[in-house]
Amino acid sequence: MAAAGEALTPTSYIGHHLSNRTIKLGDSPFWTLHIDTFLTAVFLGVIGFGFLWWVVRGATSGVPTKRQAFVELLIGFVDEQVKGIFHGSRAFVGPLALTVFVWVFLMNATKFIPIDLVGLFTGKVMQQKEWFPVPTADVNTTFALALSVWFLMLFYNVKVKGVGGWVHELTCTPFGSNPLMWPLNLLFNAVEYLSKPLSHSLRLYGNIYAGKIIFLLLWMWAASGLMGSIFGGVLALGWLIFHILIVALQAYIFMMLTAVYMAMAHESH
Amino acid sequence: MNINLTMIVQAIAFFAFIWFCKAFIWPPLMRAIETRQKQIADGLAAGEEGKKSLENASRQAEEQIAQARARAAEIVAQAEKRQSQMIEEAKTAAKAEGERELAAAKSEIAQEVSRAKETLRAQVAQLAVAGAEQILKREVDARAHAALLADVQRQL
């Protein structure tokens, strides 16, 4: 949906669809809120977890309904995956992985809706010129998730091993406790701790954002004439089907990495 | 791609959802699943138990049937033995009785015979006397000829 009076060029189309609806809360660029990212994410979370809650509230230990069986399948799947990685009580890590999986999956899945349909709704009904409907294609979301997991990881490192144990791990692994090796160990661990949230968040962001751009190109092609509509439509269908995999896979990977980081925080080397 | 307040807000939302999952979704459903798993396990165990006790019961029943069968065979054998014994006894008794009766009959016959002989002898003596009377045309003095008659009677 290009704004009235603007020429519809590829650059403007893509630029338009990749810009967030922002609210300025302060002078510094940091005090800006992507209200579209935030509201879409919260909306999806409320829908997803609300549904789960609704089913779980009526859950029975007897013969389950099909709806309950679906939710049990989902939670059982997450539990199985976490169990394979994380040895210990899953009272916190289980719900954490479930939250990550469901939320990331739903946020990724908004990509399936053709963006101009979303634009129709957000533009005409909500009266918002700019609305970017895929929260995980906003680096703020992925960093928020990855850094939250990272801080949880630091928290559990200290909680499980104690400050001394954690410092010992930072200085004495992986090359041994020889004092000469301490700087090298520290450097190694620093790189590891730095790369964890970066790879964790940027992998998800990159996949979803790139997929989004391909979609935008295809939709743009589809708007360029009859042949474009046909080829663009067919290719978009293929890309869409492929993205069913990507969306689920990225949510799965994000969940697994979360579980792995939590497991690393709980286990001493 | 610019990091801003959104990240903080999203992180807060993230933690809110984690808390919600941890408080309201994960534990009740896990409880339901685990309760059901336990029920199923219990049911399976009970089934196993039932199967075992059924096996026990049928084995016991078989044992008892075998015992009963052996006892029945024993009883039948005893009965057969007793039967043949009784038959044997009856046979022996019958034989003895028969022999006894035979002997009685024989002695009776012998008595009869001797009695008949006696009678016959007397009659023949009389006949002989009568015949002799006829022949001699005179009375025979029975008393005088008693010795003669007796002699004749003895010779017959």
Q: What is the pTM of this model?
A: 0.75
Work out the angle at residue A136's Cα, subtended by the Cα atoms of residues A190 and A228, and round it to the nearest 5 degrees: 130
The pLDDT, as a whole number, for residue A233 is 86
The pLDDT, as a whole number, for residue A4 is 42
Is a pLDDT exceeding 90 seen at residue B146? no
Decide if B35 touches A, using CB distance below 8 A: yes
B67: distance to nearest CA of chain A, Å? Answer: 47
Q: Comparing C-alpha atoms, which of A124, A119, A113 is closest to residue A212? A: A113
Is a pLDDT exceeding 60 seen at residue A2? no
Q: Over chain B, what is the mean pLDDT?
A: 89
Q: Comparing C-alpha atoms, which of A33, A207, A43 is closest to residue B2? A: A33
Q: Do B6 and A38 touch (CB under 8 A)?
A: yes
- Tell me: the pLDDT tens digits for A114-132? 777 888 888 888 877 778 8
Decide if B92 touches A, using CB distance below 8 A: no
Q: Over chain A, what is the mean pLDDT?
A: 87
Nearest CA in chain B to A61: B32
ipTM of the complex: 0.88
Which of A25-34, A78-87, B27-36, B81-90 has the lowest average pLDDT?
Answer: A25-34
Question: What are the tokens at A84?
Answer: 């394979």
The average pLDDT across B25-46 equals 93
Give, as one character, the DSSP assignment of residue A113: S
Residue A145 near residue A199, CB atoms below 8 Å: no
Question: What are the tokens at B52?
Answer: 């075992």
Q: Domain ranges for chain B, please list them.
A: 34-155
Residues of A annotated as catalytic (active site), given as ranges? 199, 203, 207
A60, A95, A140: residue with CB nearest B3: A140
Interface of B with A in 6-25 (CB under 8 A): 6-11, 13-15, 17-18, 20-22, 24-25
- Tell me: the pLDDT tens digits for A38-53? 999 999 999 999 999 9
- pLDDT more than 70, % of chain B: 93
**Residue A1 and residue B72: Cα distance in Å, rounded?**
100
Q: Domain ranges for chain A, please list them.
A: 21-266
User: Which residue did the predictor score with more confidence, A12 or A161?
Assistant: A161
Amino acid code (one letter) for A94 = G
Is a pLDDT exceeding 60 seen at residue A269? no
Which of A115-124, A178-187, A256-265, B10-19 has the lowest average pLDDT?
Answer: A115-124
The pLDDT, as a whole number, for residue A27 is 83
Q: E strands of A36-78, at which residues? A: none
**Residue A203 and residue B24: Cα distance in Å, rounded?**
30
Is a pLDDT exceeding 50 seen at residue A247? yes
